[in-house]
Amino acid sequence: MLLGRNVSFDEPLARYTSLRVGGPADAVAAPQSREQLVELCKLCRDRALPLLVLGNGFNTLVRDGGVRGVVLRLHALRGLRRDDAGLVEAEAGVTHSTLTRFCAAEGLAGLEFAVGIPGTVGGWLRMNAGVPGREMKDVVQRVAWLDASACAFVEADASELGWSYRHVDLPEDAVIVAGTFRTHPDDPDAIRARMQQGMEKRRATQPVDQPSCGSVFVNPPGDHAGRLIEAAGLKGRRQGAARISELHANFIITEGEARAADVLALIETAVEAVRDRFGVALETEVRIVGEDE
């Protein structure tokens, strides 16, 4: 058997998403190497099985009906190394905390801005994650991915790819397997101090200790989605076991027996309220996948 115990069937995706909601996947597969990833890709291609990549489940909302086909998790791909020039290569399954702590321990600066941005390297790159004034595109040197159609690996310099707000121009079926980041030397204690400052600011302004998907909406040009939602009077608005955060209105948090339908209803409420009051069309940043129940 290709993956043995590393594949499960009819698997609830709520346990794999930061919102803790979502119906079952037909199959959840976790290849333990790039070689297994290629073999899985070939199997899905030859049998016409849909393949959905799910990293650590941040920035993703799975509908209550779940996902047909195979959900791919890359958390076992977590190789991490540096070279003498300060380039750091991290595989897609490396978590945000592992990468930033590694850089601090090695005295490599440049990624402190990403402290607290949840998820894994694969998700960071796929959505060009960042904070105001700084994004992945500013620090990434190369990106490697698997072409799911050809089942072959591809690598390109970041300068060859198109980057925009929360987006990188890659084929829709590209499975990111690694990224290489530019850093520069600095004192480890100074790096850790900046990291701590960043985390303290994030904790003061965002509900980082509660289940959420991060920012729900893209900030419209010249404004902030959270400000608009708050001005529309929606902070604390509840639907079932989900609610718009009182700390930051661009976050929806869940508790107890929340359902994806609860989150989707709050998204629609925010879109309608902001459109009706301010004439602004909010666009979702969170990736919404799967089928309705």
pLDDT tens sequence across 243-275: 999 999 999 999 988 999 999 999 999 999 999
285 is catalytic: yes
By CB atoms closer than 10 A (0-12, 13-18, 19+), residue 268 is exposed
State how far the alpha carbon of 17 is from the alpha carbons of 5, 28, 109, 273, in Å: 21, 13, 30, 27
Residue 232's pLDDT band, with cuts at 50, 70 and 90, is very high
Contacts of 132 (CB under 8 A, 6+ apart): none
Alpha-carbon span 45 to 267, nearest angstrom: 34
| pLDDT for res 132 | 85
Residue 237's pLDDT band, with cuts at 50, 70 and 90, is very high
Residue 200's pLDDT band, with cuts at 50, 70 and 90, is very high
| pLDDT for res 189 | 97
pTM of this prediction exceeds 0.85:
yes
Catalytic residue among 89, 135, 230, 285: 285
pLDDT one-digit tens code per residue, 124-167: 999 999 988 899 999 999 999 999 999 999 999 999 999 998 89
135 is catalytic: no
CA neighbours within 13 Å on the CB side: how many for 273? 19
- Domains in the chain (CATH in brackets) are 4-72 (3.30.43.10), 80-205 (3.30.465.10), 225-289 (3.90.78.10)
- Asked whether the predicted pLDDT for residue 55 surpasses 90, the reply is no
215 is catalytic: yes
Catalytic residue among 63, 166, 243, 259: 166
Alpha-carbon span 248 to 218, nearest angstrom: 14
CB under 8 A, 24+ apart: contacts of 166-169 = 166/127, 166/128, 166/129, 166/218, 166/285, 167/127, 167/128, 168/125, 168/126, 168/127, 168/128, 168/136, 168/137, 168/143
Catalytic residue among 11, 18, 20, 215: 215
